[in-house]
Amino acid sequence: MKKYNVIGELLIDYRKINKLSQSEFASKLNVDIRTVQRWENATTLIKPEKEEDIINETLLPYQLVRNLNASVPIPTYYDFNLRKYSLSQLTNRLPDAKWFKSHLDVATKRIRTLDYEVDINYIVRYMRFHKEISKSLREVIKEAARLLPEMNLIITDDSGYYSGHSLVFPLRPEAYEKLRSREMNEQDLTVKDLIHHKKLDRPIFFGFDITADSNDNIYYISSQLMRYVRDKPNQEYLFCSIPFRYDNLELNEQLGLKIIWEGEKGKNEYGIEVYPRFQEGSFRNYLHEDDNSEK
């Protein structure tokens, strides 16, 4: 992650990464180019009413913008590839799985179930940096939220701004097999590929996208998913996913998921590194290994 000391440094990098001139950026925000120049030169701060416009346009985390857009800025780290911020170098990387487990019951009230009508447009805009959401996939997300509200979640910051989400699809075995064998791409999933998990002896949960703007929020949303399966100790299930980001991959491996296949590593149109890999398994050993060792 790169350390930013003032808001201007962040905006300059945002423009460069998104190949925007000062004039183009000003036009998107409906301000004069000289206003953007003053922001970037740290001559003036962004007015509160414009902060929200910037957040909505750039999808930069609200807390990141607030930290840097202050008379006494709070230096903050940010990674445009992972789209995550951190307040110190110590928290730039995800904690290991043992730390997650030792704090598994620490929860937050900032998580709620996904409201499709309210949340979908923002989710689609945010996800465009690493996954395209077609019209049919929108319907899949809507149906997954109906069938499995416990795992389709939104997390906000203390001010109510979006901070991350989890999208988990309850799959039919046939769809799972096609994804596993690479006969089908996750972008090809339809509503017909979903089924209520209680109709299967072994539910299959496909982690389509689990992301957040900081490691703290990744912890909270991942822990809620973990608690959901932990509290059903006798339930057989399979969890699978195709993570593109290295931090998700590393954590999944520690949690007990195995790599089945690996795709080609590269960069997408936004310059973000993507490296798709199919992982599967369950969190049973991870969640209950201490219980087993005591027997």
Q: Which CATH number fits domain 2-91: 3.30.70.580, 1.10.1750.10, 3.20.20.70, 1.10.260.40?
A: 1.10.260.40
Residue 268's pLDDT is what?
75
Q: What is the arithmetic mean of pLDDT over 30-42?
A: 95
Residue 255's pLDDT is what?
84
As a whole number of angstroms, the distance between CA 290 and CA 150 comes to 26
Predicted confidence band of residue 293 (pLDDT cuts 50, 70, 90): very low
Q: Which residue do the tokens 């925007």 mark?
A: 20
Q: How many CB atoms lie within 10 A of CB 27?
A: 14
Residue 289's pLDDT is what?
67
How do the domains of the chain map onto residue ranges? 2-91, 97-293
Q: What is the arithmetic mean of pLDDT over 38-47?
A: 94
Predicted confidence band of residue 266 (pLDDT cuts 50, 70, 90): confident
CATH no., domain 97-293: 3.40.630.30
Q: Which residue do the tokens 């994804």 mark?
A: 179
Residue 290's pLDDT is what?
61
Query: Given CA atoms 105, 88, 59, 168 in this order, what sign does their dihedral have?
Result: negative
Name the phi and psi angles at 83, rounded to 5. Answer: 55, 50
Q: Report pLDDT digits (tens) over 199-225.
A: 999 999 999 999 899 988 988 999 999
Q: What is the arithmetic mean of pLDDT over 160-173?
A: 94
pTM of the model: 0.85
* High-pLDDT (> 90) share of the chain, %: 62
* High-pLDDT (> 70) share of the chain, %: 94
The mean pLDDT value of the chain amounts to 89
Predicted confidence band of residue 35 (pLDDT cuts 50, 70, 90): very high
Residue 88 has pLDDT above 70, yes or no: yes
257, 239 in Cβ contact below 8 A? yes
